[in-house]
Amino acid sequence: MYPNSPNRGWNSLSRTQQIVVIVVGAVILYALLSGASSIGRLGNPNWIIAVAAIVFIAFPVHELAHAAMAVALGDPTPRLQGRYTLNPLAHIDPIGAVLILFTGFGWAKPVQWNPGNVTVDVRLAVILVALAGPVSNLILATISLFFLDKATNDLVSTFLFFFAQINVLLFVFNLLPVPPLDGSHVLFALLPGNTYELQLTLQRYGFLLLMVVIFMGGSFIYGIVQAIMQVLYGLVA
């Protein structure tokens, strides 16, 4: 939808982003060709394929879910901006994709929408639009675990496990109440009164807080992920 837009594709990236993509691509190529155990799961082709599936399938589904919910509530903004699509080029954020590869955490470009256009209570709309993305990851994880229970090939089973695990991780990660994650929008919508000053404060330090959570709270988050994985597998097994 907007195939000639200058804000899409390789030319839309900054020089730094292009370098990051090239370096990561080289690392991925090396990992796939060498299978070196010294580089950890980057040497596991199933991890690489699962990450690619996240970037090119799960991320677009996640962002389309946000867009579709906003459109369903009466706001045409995501459609007008070309975000009402499964086209990965409309959604991929290079830095978020890199983080997925190395940490399992990451993000796509956030969908913009206008609360002034919705036909329901604005706070309810904010919650529904924010939750639509993480819920889509949970659905993808459930589908993956359903097929994992039926899989007879070890390579397929490993891929499905990684794909489900990363989707559950994205579900948990995106619900953290830290800007710009979806959980922060839910938090601000639930808090009484005017939260504008609080939003400004958290947004100012949001990225720093996010990095602290990723590198210091990883074990706690992974514990939640494993618990959810067990529940989902119990439901579909």
**Would you give the end-to-end CA distance of the chain in angstroms?**
39
Residue 59 maps to a domain:
yes
Residue 208 maps to a domain:
yes
Catalytic positions, written as ranges = 63
Residue position matching structure tokens 């804000």: 7
Residue 31 has pLDDT above 60, yes or no: no
Share of the chain above pLDDT 70, in %: 81
Cβ within 8 Å of residue 55, ≥6 positions away: 88, 92, 97, 100
Could you give the number of structural domains in the chain?
Answer: 1
Residue 224 maps to a domain:
yes
Asked if 78 contacts 87 with a C-beta cutoff of 8 angstroms, the reply is no
Residue 123 maps to a domain:
yes
Q: What is the CA 99 to chain-centroid distance, rounded?
A: 11
Residue 149 has pLDDT above 80, yes or no: yes
Residue 19 maps to a domain:
no
pLDDT of the residue at 87 = 93
Residue 2 has pLDDT above 70, yes or no: no
Residue 20 maps to a domain:
no
Residue 22 maps to a domain:
no
pLDDT of the residue at 48 = 87
Full domain range(s) for residue 206: 45-236
Asked if 147 contacts 138 with a C-beta cutoff of 8 angstroms, the reply is no
On the 0-12 / 13-18 / 19+ scale of CB atoms within 10 A, 115 is middle
SS3 letters for the chain?
A: CCCCCCCCCHHHCCHHHHHHHHHHHHHHHHHHHHCCHHHHHHHCHHHHHHHHHHHHHHHHHHHHHHHHHHHHCCCCHHHHCCCCCCCHHHCCCHHHHHHHHHHCCCCCCCCCCCHHHCCCCHHHHHHHHHHHHHHHHHHHHHHHHHHHHHCCCHHHHHHHHHHHHHHHHHHHHHCCCCCCCHHHHHHHHHCCCCCHHHHHHHHHCHHHHHHHHHHHCHHHHHHHHHHHHHHHHHHHC
pLDDT of the residue at 183 = 93
Tokens at residue 214, please? 């990723």
Distance of alpha carbon 27 from alpha carbon 12, whole angstroms? 23
Residue 24 maps to a domain:
no
Distance of alpha carbon 192 from alpha carbon 185, whole angstroms? 13
Q: What is the pLDDT of residues 51-105, one digit of tens each?
A: 899 999 999 999 999 999 999 999 999 999 999 999 999 998 888 888 788 777 7
pLDDT band at 6 (very low <50, low <70, confident <90, very high): very low
Give the Cβ contact number of residue 134 at 10 Å.
24
Q: Which of 169, 196, 197 is nearest to 181 (CA)?
A: 169
Distance of alpha carbon 54 from alpha carbon 39, whole angstroms? 20
